[in-house]
Amino acid sequence: MKSNSPPSFAQKSRLMQHLRSLFLRLAIALPAFTLISLPGIANMPFLTDKEDTVMDFLMEAFQASPPPGTAVPLAFIDIDDRTYRIWDDPLQIPRDKLLNLIQFAVAAEARIIYVDVELSRPSCDATADRKLIEYITNYRSAHLPPLILPQGIRHGLDETESPSLRPSFLDDALNQPNSRVLRSSALFDLDDADGVLRRWRIFEKIGDTDEGILPSTQLLVYRLLRDSVHAPQIV
C-alpha cells in the first residue's frame, strides 16, 4: 500500500526550487517574447539574420519531404528558353500562344489559374491582342476557375504621391461585372545581404483611402481556396 504521509522537508524544498526556476524563466521569457513580437524589434538585423538561418536550414532539410495529404496539387506550365527559341525569341509573350495556354488550363479543370506574365502593354499583334481581350471580357461564367493576373503598380515620384495601378490594355475587360478574372500584386522583397527571395509582400496599399488594397497572389490564392469567394477588389 502507498503511504499517505505528508511530503518531507526535502521534497518541499525541491518543489519550491522547481517553482522558483519556472517563475524565473517565465519572467525572462515572456517579456523577451513580447519584445521580439514588436515589429520594430523583430525586424532588427541581428534577430532576422538568426531567423533566416534557421528557416533556410529547415526548408533545405524538408524540401524533399512528401506533401501532406491535404496539400493542394500544383502544376507549372513553364515557358522555357527552348520554347522561346521555337517562338523566334519575341520581345513579348505572344498573346495567341498565351491564350492557348490559358484555355488549356481551363480545359484541364484547374481550380485556380495564375498567369505570371506582364500584360500592361499591348503586343505587336493587334489581332492576337483583340482575341485575348474578348476572352477576358467574356470570362464570367460561374463554372470557370478564377483567373489571376498580376497587376502592375506605379509608385509615386515622391513621398506625397500614393501608389496607383499601372494602366493596362485589358482594363476594360477586367472591369466587366461578374468577371472571374482577378488582379493581384506579385511584389516581393529581396534580402539585402545575399539577394535571396524570402519574403513576399502581403498586400499593397493603392491610393489614399483604406479601401484601396491589392492583395498579394499568395494571399488571394489562399482566400480563394479557403473560402471559395472573390478577393477584395480595388475601389
pLDDT at 232: 44
pLDDT at 179: 92
C-alpha 57/C-alpha 52 separation (Å) is 8
- Looking at the domain assignment, is residue 85 inside a domain? yes
- Looking at the domain assignment, is residue 103 inside a domain? yes
- Looking at the domain assignment, is residue 176 inside a domain? yes
What is the three-class DSSP state of 154?
Answer: strand
pLDDT at 235: 36
- Looking at the domain assignment, is residue 45 inside a domain? no
pLDDT at 204: 87
Q: In the chain, which stretches have pLDDT less than 70?
A: 1-12, 28-48, 209-211, 228-235
pLDDT at 233: 46
C-alpha 19/C-alpha 190 separation (Å) is 45
Total of domains in the chain: 1
Residue 74 has a CB neighbour count (10 Å cut-off) of: 9
Residue-range definition of the domain harbouring residue 137: 81-227
CB of 184 closer than 8 Å to CB of 215: yes
Q: Which of 140, 141, 139, 128 is nearest to 100 (CA)?
A: 128
pLDDT at 200: 83
pLDDT at 5: 57
pLDDT at 229: 47
What is the three-class DSSP state of 215?
Answer: strand
- Looking at the domain assignment, is residue 8 inside a domain? no
pLDDT at 125: 93
CA dihedral 92, 97, 101, 102 (to 10 degrees): 80
